[in-house]
Amino acid sequence: MTRLYIIEGLPCSGKSSTARFVADTLTAQGKTVRYIDEGTGDHPADYEFHAYVDGKVIPLNTVPPEELNACLPCKIYDGLPWETEAPLMLDKWQQFVFEANADTVYVFNCVLLQNPMCETMMRFNMTEAESAAHIRQIAEIIAPLEPTVIYLHNDDIEESVCRASAERPGWLDAVISYHTDGGYGKSVGASGFDGYISCLRERQAREERILSALPVRAVTLANPQQDWPAARNRLLQLL
């Protein structure tokens, strides 16, 4: 029985809505569910908003404001070298599996593909094979939970991003900069909005190829944001 559902896909593909629907459906079936959205800062399998200082993992929300700037260069995402970051992330996954409640079904918004790909591909410009090797290690760690990955494929990335950016002031400029200024973006000469979209297209292609080779149950929903009733019915059959 699946004890871990992970919803994956590009930004603006509908991950949060889909993950919430999965969690609500499982709860209605009488299951004990723990739903974790991205960006919570308190993730059981991820180190969002944490730094690694003097051999210790420190939640940044516990750091006094006057000391925060000194910790940012050691932020686990964005600051650490890969050879330091990767073991920390794998250890976090192992800790989660060890501590997972046997009577609870977990629903995660991303973290299996999105977060590792943003680091390995977008930040460090690693090859697809290198990204795949790291993600496979995670998949092997979570195997005891019999995970199911639901991937939201998006054929109209540009339109989805434009729609979401109208609802998120300042978000688009930040993500464009992150992608075009990172290792992969620089390697392909990505620039501006078009460069950002190009980066996302390549990331989606790589993620789908990597997912197809992982030892996990995987289901792809095509363009759920365009036909939610059809996607909803597919999810209900899956769950």
Delineate the domains of the chain, giving CATH numbers in brackets. Answer: 4-238 (3.40.50.300)
- Determine the pLDDT at residue 167: 83
Q: What is the pLDDT of residues 154-204, one digit of tens each?
A: 999 999 999 888 888 888 999 999 999 999 999 999 999 999 999 999 999
- pTM: predicted TM-score of the whole model, two decimal places: 0.95
pLDDT digits (tens, 9 = 90+) for 208-226: 999 999 999 999 999 998 8
Distance CA(187)–CA(20), nearest Å, equals 36
CA distances from 158 to 153, 171, 172, 203 (A): 13, 15, 12, 14
Query: Residue 39: what pLDDT?
Result: 76
Q: What does the DSSP 8-state code read for residue 119?
A: I
Strands (E), the chain: 4-9, 32-36, 50-53, 56-59, 104-109, 148-153, 217-222
Which pLDDT value is given to residue 74?
A: 93
pLDDT of 125 reads 98
pLDDT at 186: 97
Which parts of the chain have pLDDT scores under 50?
A: none
- Distance, CA of 152 to CA of 164 (rounded, Å): 16
Count of other CB atoms within 10 angstroms of residue 189: 9
pLDDT for the residue 34 = 97
CB atoms < 10 A from the CB of 172, how many? 17
